[in-house]
């Protein structure tokens, strides 16, 4: 019984201690991710499954990237938020090692006020309309020339392979370490920098017009490049 004659909280809450972290890490190493509700029983943690999962995915996961959001990452966040709105987990999939929570926090603290008045209407964010497409294409053209040069050489070196994937609306291709990695996700070419070609999923094309627009992005003539 607690101070007030009420049954004590069954689960611990609040910030995690290093001891708790270690218990959770040991549990995941032993049993893998998932079955979070059994962590308390099997690892001796007085945390509910939800809290354990959150701690793992947002902080303890070994593949997380630590440190400041880079300017490159910031640009992706801004551009993808213009497309997707507050769909943080979708945005996070394009930023390896970053969590949706991290991106959400970053955007809210850095950009919420600035975007408040002029922001696009997020209520229809799932639909891709021509205005958004125009905005996105304009942003594409505002990208730095060095990015465009890398993108150009990427296309030139891998033209056949890349173009063969264009009609596949559900194919995502990552280009890392001089190899292609294909993933079954909706997507299209987004940007290329630091040897990392990033295909970003978009809301599914719902009309021929949308599909044509997606393919249009692959036309190198569309990019304003000064080599």
Q: Which residues bind DNA (CB under 7 A)?
A: 12-16, 34-38, 47, 49-51, 53-55, 57-59, 86-90, 100-102, 104-106, 108-110
Sign of CA dihedral 135, 211, 171, 91: positive
- In 3D space, the residue among 68, 106, 95 whose CA is nearest the CA of residue 193 turns out to be 95
Using CA atoms, how far apart are residues 65 and 103, in angstroms rounded to an integer?
12
Q: Which is nearer to DNA, 69 or 151 (CB)?
A: 69
Report, in Å, the least distance between residue 226 CB and DNA: 35
- In 3D space, the residue among 210, 208, 211, 188 whose CA is nearest the CA of residue 200 turns out to be 188
Q: Which is nearer to DNA, 85 or 148 (CB)?
A: 85
Report, in Å, the least distance between residue 63 CB and DNA: 14
Q: Which is nearer to DNA, 106 or 154 (CB)?
A: 106
Report, in Å, the least distance between residue 86 CB and DNA: 4
- Cβ atoms 219, 164 nearer than 8 A: no
Sign of CA dihedral 167, 169, 175, 178: negative
Report, in Å, the least distance between residue 201 CB and DNA: 12
> Which stretches of the chain are assigned E, i.e. beta strand?
172-176, 179-183, 188-193, 196-200
Report, in Å, the least distance between residue 95 CB and DNA: 13
Q: Which is nearer to DNA, 58 or 134 (CB)?
A: 58
Q: Which is nearer to DNA, 34 or 195 (CB)?
A: 34
Sign of CA dihedral 131, 135, 138, 140: negative
């Amino acid at each position: 019984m607690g101070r007030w004659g009420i049954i004590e909280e069954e689960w611990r809450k609040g910030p995690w201690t290093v001891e708790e972290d270690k218990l959770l890490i040991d549990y995941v190493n032993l049993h893998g991710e998932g079955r979070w509700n059994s962590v308390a029983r099997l690892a001796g943690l007085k945390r509910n499954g939800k809290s354990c999962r959150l701690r793992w995915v947002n902080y303890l996961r070994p593949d997380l990237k630590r440190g400041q959001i880079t300017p490159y990452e910031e640009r992706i966040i801004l551009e993808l938020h213009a497309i997707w709105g507050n769909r943080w987990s979708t945005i996070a999939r394009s930023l390896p090692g970053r969590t949706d929570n991290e991106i959400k926090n970053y955007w809210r603290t850095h950009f919420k006020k600035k975007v408040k008045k002029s922001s696009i209407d997020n209520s229809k964010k799932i639909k891709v309309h021509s205005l958004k497409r125009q905005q996105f294409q304009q942003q594409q053209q505002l990208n730095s020339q060095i990015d465009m040069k890398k993108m150009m050489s990427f296309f030139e070196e891998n033209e056949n392979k890349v173009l063969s994937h264009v009609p596949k609306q559900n194919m995502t291709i990552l280009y890392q370490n001089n190899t292609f990695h294909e993933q079954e996700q909706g997507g299209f070419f987004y940007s290329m920098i630091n040897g990392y070609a990033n295909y970003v999923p978009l809301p599914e094309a719902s009309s021929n017009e949308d599909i044509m627009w997606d393919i249009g992005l692959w036309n190198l003539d569309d990019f304003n490049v000064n080599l």
